[in-house]
Each structure stands twice: as C-alpha cells, then as structure tokens.
Structure 1
C-alpha cells in the first residue's frame, strides 16, 4: 500500500505531461495553414529518407570490406571502389536529408514560438491588477523564459527524435538479422536497449525532482535580484547593499546546492549509460569475432555489426538527453501553461458593447469595494459627476481616493453598486473602449525605457510629430526637452529614472493631453512638481479639462480650489461635499484638513491663502 501514493502521483504527472503535449500540438499542426502543414509532412518524409539511407550506409561499407578481403559480394555490387563511392554518397545524402528536414521545419517551429509568445504576452496583459501586484516580476519573467525554451526544445526534438529513434532501432535490428540470420545479435541488442532505457528513465525521474528543486531556487534568486535592482534607490537610502548581497547570496547558495546535486546525478547517469552501452557493444562484437573465426561470418559482417552498434550508441545516448530534457521541458511548460490558464479577474462580458460617450457623465451608484472581505475600502459611495464638470476627491491617506480611479478604469470590479458612464455600466462595455475614453495622469508616472518622444507619443498611436510637440508645450516640458543634447530622442532610462520626478510627471501629462480623452482622471498629478511648475501645470490641466469631465484626486487642497465640487472621503465614505468656500464655511473635516495644510505651508517658504 505504501507505493499507492507514489503510483498515483506518477499517473497524475503522466496525465499532466500528455495535457501539456496536447496544448503544444496545435502549434505544430496549425489549423487552416496549408503552408505550415505541408512543411511538417515534407519534413517527416525527409526524416524517413534520412533513416533509410543511414541504415544502408554500413551495408555498403561491409560489402566494400568483403570485396577487398575476397570474401565475395552480391552480383549487383559495384566492387570495392564503387561501393566506397556509394558509401560516401549515402553519408552525404543522410546529412542532406537532415538539413532539408531542419530547413522545412524551421518556419513551423519559429511560427509556433511566435504565436505562443504572443498568446502569453496578451494573456499577461489581460490578467487583472490584483494578480500583477501579488506576483514578483522576476519570477514571472523566469517562468515565461523557461516555458518558451521548453516549447522550443519540444518542437525541435520530440517530433524528430523520439519516434525516429524507435524507427531507427527497428530498422537496425531488421538489417542485422537480414544480414547475419542470427537472433542472438538481435536479442543482445534488445536486452541492452531495454536495460539502458529502464536505467535512463528511472534515474531521469529522480533527476527531474532535483531539477525542479533547482528551478525553484533559481526563480527565488532571480526574484530577489530583480526586486533589489528595481528598488536600488531604497537600497542606497538605507545603506542596505551588504544586506541585499547577503540575501541574494543565501538564495544563490540554495541554488548552488541544488545545482550540484543535479550535476552529480548527471555524472552518475552518464557513467551508468556508458557501462551498459559498452557491455552490449562488447558482447555483440565478441559474438561476431567468434563467428568470423569459425568461418560463419565475413570480416565485412564484423565491420557491419560494429558500425550498427556505434550507430545504435549515438541515438541511445541522445535518447537519454532527449528524455531528460523533455521531462524538464514539460515541467517548465506546465508552469507557463498554468500561467496561461490563470483566469483574468476582470473580463469582458460575452455581449459587451463599445462604450459610447455622448456627454461624459460619470456616476458611482452606491459603490462598495474591498480588496478582501476583512478590509472594506469603499462603503455605499454615491457620486454624480455631470458632464464637463471638474470634481475633486480629497481626504487623508488610506481613505479610498485612488481606489475610485481604479474602479473607474475597471482594474477591479465593484463588490456592490455600479460605476456608470453616460448610462452604461462599465461592466457591460469592453475594457478597450473604456480605457480609450479615459485619460489618466497617475501619482507616479512610469515611463518606458525609450525616448521622450516615444513616451509622449504613446498617448495616441498615430499622432504626428507636431501634435506630440504641442502636447509637450501644453505640459510645459518642451523647452526642457529641447535643452537636452538629443532633444526628443533622449532616452529616459529604466522606468524613466534618468528624469527627475517633476520631469517624468510632465511627460506623463503631455502623454495624456495627446490622448485627448473625454474623461480625465488626475491622480495627484502635480504632487511631484515644485510650486512654480505646479502652478503652470495646473493652468495647463485646467485648460485641458475644458469641455471634459475631470476627476481630480488630490492630497494638496490648494490644487482643487477651483473645482466645481469637492468631495471629502474618509474611511471609505463621502463625509462632505461642496465647493471650496462652502466646505470651509461648514467648519467640518475639510476645514480641518485645510487648516492643517495651511499651518504646514506657513512653516515653509510660503503661506497658503484660503
């Protein structure tokens, strides 16, 4: 009974492996693509031709030896010289068919990798924000990298190695029996292959577990490295480079230990395979040598047996490598396909329509939301934002302000109530059309590691250069860009770190202005700017907001005084609403926040006037 769990586990792994192979098969045999399917068929034909010619080569060599030794050859043979030439041509033909096979299948493999990479890329972008903020980028990229490599290996070797290997072994056995008419040779070969395959598979199963552990350690080390490098400023601030190095070294020590076990197991496997193959080779050669001495076989037969045993040795050694790598590839691919099977939390409904913006009215109707059941973020929040008006949402940190923007974009679905735009529930429209209708300047603008021009032009795919420059002027960053040696072609570095916080923010503002959306979300849009620039940007944003519905999420109350209406959010509920002057006259929470910020400003270089 003790073996039952292991047996069940092996069956489960086998089923999982077959499911993985089935997932890959449509990429090898793509539906509706005659060109790629024809390539697969022709490649298989070239493969069969390769094997038949490879089996013929030792026979030609044996006949040439027998002719030289005067042992006699078939009447249709060409003599030693002719047979030697034919042998050489057969070797060339074998290689030629192999190259034809590889050339034919190359497009199939590359197209499959391209489709799979695109499918994975698109799926990751479809996954919801909750997934991305809980996964480590380093681990995710490693899973994808290993998975794609696993598919590449499977495409290259499974189709043209495992089946062809069996075919080659059968043909060699048949050729030896045909030539020598002795089952003992076939019996020794079959016994050697059986023991070799059993030993290889048994040890490889053990090695796969070791390799899986090594992969886990590799992923952990990679996650720690990328996480540390992405946060290098924080590491510098706290003088924690040594601490991070020790943390990384600890992870690499785990990887080192796992990698050593994997290497030692590989050495054991290779040595065992060599012993088994050599034993089979020596046994067959001894039997052939005895036959030659007894006059039952010719010297050519001895050469034939030796050539075939060497020919068997190569694919058998390859079988060990292929099996090891296929098992590992299946493990890596399963992780990637598990990622592809991860369902997006937020999905378009089956009958989702395009969002139609008539005026741009936004309504939050009794909206409740929580990231988990134990911590509600918003409770029964109702907000009506008339088209073309500017609404500001203020409140202390943790009050749920930024969550309003995330729900508007439908990064999450509300747990209660509805978010409605021009009478359309955002859950009933496509996410693409929703995102196209809303522009956002986030609290911390993250830029692509490309040029300033690329980052601004990202706001609208086919914008002209003049439109990009106009957006930069409106965001008060054109003059700064032109002062740079490469102007708009200046690269901004990883996540835009070559620019200051204010410069990044202005690029983000220019990008949103270029998008020209009917609804504008400003999430602490000027928080990283100095007072003078903030005033200039505020004017630009007010101009940009004309004729649009604007939702401003702000911490600094001085930036929202001109809003048509201000909502005070606290502990997930709207506690006050009104204009700036109305809220000050209520002597409520807004006044408390205003007084606090005014006193803080008074201690600074300037006083904030109510």
Structure 2
C-alpha cells in the first residue's frame, strides 16, 4: 500500500535514531521510577530514625542521581526525537514538492486550497504521526512488556493482575478511543479542509467580494465555519476529560493493588516494611508514561486522513505521469526552432467534449502566428500543450522532433510567455528582471529596458532600478507592468515567445504602443499570439481562427481579407475603431 511508503521508508532510514529514542525513553521512565522508589525507601527509612546518617546516605545519593538522570535522559530523548522528526519532515516536504512541482497547471484534480491543505496541514500531520503516535506507542508497549516481566520476578499472579490493569491502559482504552473518535476526527479534518478552500478562494477573489458588496456575507460564512470547528474541538475535549477520568480510576486501582501486594510481602517476611512506600510510589511515574497512549492512538484517524490525502495526491501525480513521456534532455538547437502539431486531439479528464479536435499546423523559427477565437475555443489549452504542461489525448506536439511534454525541464530555455496579468514580486525592479536570468549583468538589464522604452523613466526615479514595484506591481501602471514583463522576456532570450492576450485591459493608445514595442523587440523570434480581436494582425505571418476546438479558417492577413467575408467584417468592426482612437 502507498500509505506505508510515507511511514516505513523513514522508519528504516532512521531506525538507529528510533532505537536511541526508545532507549532514552526507557531510561527516562526507569530513572523516574527509580527516583520514586528510592524516595519512598528514604522517607520510610528516615522516619524510623536510623542510628547514623550513613544508613540513608546511599538512598540520598541515589535520589540525587536518579533525579538528575531523569531530566538528562528526558532532554536527550527530546533532542533525538526532534532531530529525527525534523529530518523526516524535510524528506517529506522535498518529496511532496517533487511530486507537485512538475504538475503545476496540469490536469491535477486538486484546487489551490487543497494543495495548501496538504502542504500546511497534512505534512505536519504526518510529522505528528511519528512524534505523537508512533514513538509514544512503541515506547509504551516496550514499557508494558518490561513492567510485566519485572513484576513476574516477585509474583506471577500479581504480575498477571497488573498486566490486566496495564492492558486496560495500553490496549483496551486506546482502541476504544480510536474507534470512538475516528468519525469525529474525519469530520474535523473535512471541515478544516473546507475552511482552507473557502479562505483560499476568498483571498484569490477578494477584489470581487469587495466590489460586489458581499464582504459581510463572506466573513459571516467564515465565522460560521470556524464556530463549527470550535464545537468539534469542544466535543473532543469533553471526551478527553472522561477518558482521562477512567484512566485515573484504573491507576487508583493499581495503587490499591500495589499496597495490598506490598503489605502481603511484608506480612510474609518477604519484604521489609520500608519498601511498601517505595513499591507504591513507582506506580505514579509508570502511570505518567502509560496514560498518554490513549491520546496518542486516538489521534491516528486524524493522521490517517492526512496520510490518505498525501497518498491520493501521490497517486494523482503518478497517474498524470503515466500518461506523459519520461523526461529527456533537449539536445537540439536553441536558436532554430520548428514547432509541429499533427492530428492533435485533447480532452480534459471527465469532460465528454474535446477541447481540441484534429489540430495540425507548424511554425518555423521567426514565424508569427496569431491564434484567435472566442472564450472556450481552445486557445489557452493549445498554449499549455505547446509548453508541455498538458499531453495530447491523440496526435503529437513536438519541438525540433522532441515531444513537448517530454522536455518540460528544458522548456524555459525554449519558450517564454507574456500573459495578460504578469506577476511582479514585491521587490525592486532589478530583482523582478533578474528572475528571468539571475546572471544578467547591469548592462544587459539596461539594454532590455531601453528596448522597451522604460530605462529613462526608471533612471529618473529616486531609487532607480532599486525602486520597489510594491505588491503585485501596483507602483506602475498596467502598460508599464507589461513593459517590465516584456523586458523580463527579452532577458530570458528564448527563441519562442507566447503572447497570451498581453494587451487586455489597456487603453487603445497604450495597446498600440505596446504592440509596436513587442513586434520591434521580438524581431526574429517565433511569436504565437493568443488574442480576442484583430488589432495588429497585419504584422502576423499567419492567422488561425479556432471555433469549438477546431481550426475554422487560416491564412495571412491579406489572404483572409480577400478570401473571407467573415474575416473582413470582423476586421472592419474592430480595426477602424482602434485606429481612430489611436489617432
């Protein structure tokens, strides 16, 4: 089972650390028990007023030694256990990153909130599975066995009686707690996951919530979800209270039994009277070690839910990878690129309709292609296939003979994208540019900024290229953000550039200036431009119209003007208006 793959490998890899933790745990409990035993003996012996201090000197030294030993062993156990857990946690997070990162934007069925839930909640849940369940349970079972064996040297019947008490604490109560709380933990986990998704969606769409005047409704629903979580938490605390009360009753029964057993040994002259308190006091550190096991085991359903979600994500990624070629290194030219699509079909999982149907075209280096169509026509899907993020259902997508989905590790060397909402990070202009090429020199940065006609403006700012762009680039206008993003594309210097409606939301004058800059600065590069209107089509070598996933018509601007009445009407409706506004 894949669930075991998230537990067993780490146990095997760090088995010596786990053995060290168990040993230190036994030494901690042993020191605590020995401390109480010698303390009980010392108190009893001192109460008899010994003739000389030498008769209690050894117990005094042992009390000090075991008192220090308990603290030292406990601290050492915590150090080793947290070292073990942090190592496992680092391995898990790295493993999860390598699972998810190649599939970002692919056909994973996970929402952003669910991915955040796995990253923030479930991996830490697996950490707690080791720290709060696996290790304490293993230590308790080992302590159970050693305690019963140790008591057997004094009396087998009494050892069996204590084994029964310990069985209630170590096995019966934890299992009852496990089954009782399983449904509660699953409901709690589901509710918390719903909160993650709701908050994530709300954050991503915060502007729409505010503009629609529904902010109060959003927060009211969020508070209701949090209240349900609180109610579940209170029910869990109530159950814990009653469970611990029953555990204390069992401990009380153990103490009474231990008093009776020690008294019977004294009455039979098998034990000195000063040892009665010593034997009874040992029960307290023993109970302190045994009682938490119920709490540890009952949390397993919560961790199991995390385990299932992480495993499901791994399975999802594995299924996604199974339909994609294994990664291979791109070894062809980085300057002369030919893109081919042949008989391409694609449909998203669960959809009966194909997003793309029998698409065939090619683009040699330097060719400029415009992809036009209504929303849902398949334009964005086509770009994802070209980037290798998706794999075709049928047909091929290749770059210089390499399948696009098989060379995604090298895609950033070949393809760069300028989309309608380029993200600028809350840092300096220079750092945002260096994202494309961290080794770029100051001269190279200045050169690309001159090409996009922003160098003089940035230089005029008080901090120059160290000027902060502010959150999401709000320091600059929409056109300026697009120019900075274009400079980043130039700095990346790929032979193929995809333009995903980069002028959406810009006024006609800014749009015209930006398009002029794009065509001028990207001369010689292959351009694949997704757009929804026809401004700038005269600069394109080929125009491809998509409708319901199929190529409806294609050709150069002049060919379509002469041959297609539909194109001519669209151009007349769109182009003159923009020309007039630009003038």
**TM-score between the two structures when normalised by the length of structure 2:** 0.88
Distance 2:345 2:401 in 1: 19
Match of 1:388 among 333, 351, 366: 366
Q: Which residue of 1 aligns with 2:35?
A: 57
Check conservation: 1:109, 1:155, Cα contact below 8 A: yes
Q: Is 2:520 aligned against 1:546? A: no
Q: For residue 547 of structure 1, report the CA deviation from its aligned partner.
A: 2.4
Q: Is 2:513 aligned against 1:513? A: no
Q: Is 2:574 aligned against 1:597? A: yes
Check conservation: 1:378, 1:400, Cα contact below 8 A: yes
Q: Given the superposition, is the C-alpha separation of residues 163 and 567 from structure 1 closer, same or farther in structure 2, using an over 3 Å criterion?
A: closer
Q: For residue 386 of structure 1, report the CA deviation from its aligned partner.
A: 2.2
Count the aligned residue pairs. Answer: 577
Q: For residue 246 of structure 1, report the CA deviation from its aligned partner.
A: 3.2
Q: For residue 63 of structure 1, report the CA deviation from its aligned partner.
A: 4.1
Match of 1:255 among 212, 226, 229: 229
SS in 1 for 2:539: coil
Q: Is 2:156 aligned against 1:156? A: no
Check conservation: 1:66, 1:72, Cα contact below 8 A: no
Question: Deviations along 1:260-315, whole A, 9 cap, x unmatched?
Answer: 33233222222222222223323433554576688765443221222211022101
Check conservation: 1:144, 1:336, Cα contact below 8 A: no
Distance 2:370 2:107 in 1: 29
Q: Which residue of 2 aligns with 1:143?
A: 118
Q: For residue 37 of structure 1, report the CA deviation from its aligned partner.
A: 6.4
Distance 2:493 2:331 in 1: 16
Distance 2:17 2:177 in 1: 36
Report the RMSD for the aligned CA atoms in angstroms.
3.2
Q: For residue 116 of structure 1, report the CA deviation from its aligned partner.
A: 1.0
Q: Is 2:164 aligned against 1:191? A: yes
Q: Which residue of 2 aligns with 1:23?
A: 6
Q: For residue 554 of structure 1, report the CA deviation from its aligned partner.
A: 1.8
Ranges in structure 1 where 5+ consecutive residues have no aligned partner? 1-15, 31-35
Q: Is 2:356 aligned against 1:356? A: no
Q: For residue 570 of structure 1, report the CA deviation from its aligned partner.
A: 2.8
Check conservation: 1:71, 1:298, Cα contact below 8 A: no
Q: Is 2:511 aligned against 1:534? A: yes
Check conservation: 2:415, 2:494, Cα contact below 8 A: yes
Q: Is 2:537 aligned against 1:560? A: yes
Q: Which residue of 1 aligns with 2:386?
A: 408
Q: Given the superposition, is the C-alpha separation of residues 266 and 409 from structure 1 closer, same or farther in structure 2, using an over 3 Å criterion?
A: same
Q: Which residue of 1 aligns with 2:398?
A: 420
Q: Given the superposition, is the C-alpha separation of residues 175 and 252 from structure 1 closer, same or farther in structure 2, using an over 3 Å criterion?
A: same
Distance 1:316 1:43 in 2: 16
After superposition, residues 110-509 of structure 1 pair within 5 angstroms as 110-127=86-103, 129-131=105-107, 134-158=109-133, 160-176=135-151, 178=153, 181-183=154-156, 185-196=158-169, 197-288=171-262, 297-343=271-317, 345=320, 349-350=325-326, 352-357=328-333, 359-371=336-348, 373-427=351-405, 429-479=406-456, 481-482=458-459, 487-489=464-466, 492=469, 495-496=472-473, 500-509=477-486
Higher deviation after alignment, 350-359 or 307-316: 350-359
Distance 1:468 1:122 in 2: 32
Distance 1:158 1:254 in 2: 26
Check conservation: 1:146, 1:333, Cα contact below 8 A: no
Q: For residue 544 of structure 1, report the CA deviation from its aligned partner.
A: 3.1
Q: For residue 515 of structure 1, report the CA deviation from its aligned partner.
A: 0.8
Check conservation: 2:29, 2:286, Cα contact below 8 A: no
Question: Deviations along 1:154-186, whole A, 9 cap, x unmatched?
Answer: 3334564222223333434444454xx344543
Q: Given the superposition, is the C-alpha separation of residues 495 and 359 from structure 1 closer, same or farther in structure 2, using an over 3 Å criterion?
A: same
Distance 2:369 2:5 in 1: 53
**TM-score between the two structures when normalised by the length of structure 1:** 0.84
SS in 2 for 1:367: strand
After superposition, residues 81-100 of structure 1 pair within 5 angstroms as 81-100=57-76
SS in 2 for 1:576: strand
SS in 1 for 2:369: strand
Distance 1:380 1:606 in 2: 39
SS in 1 for 2:370: strand
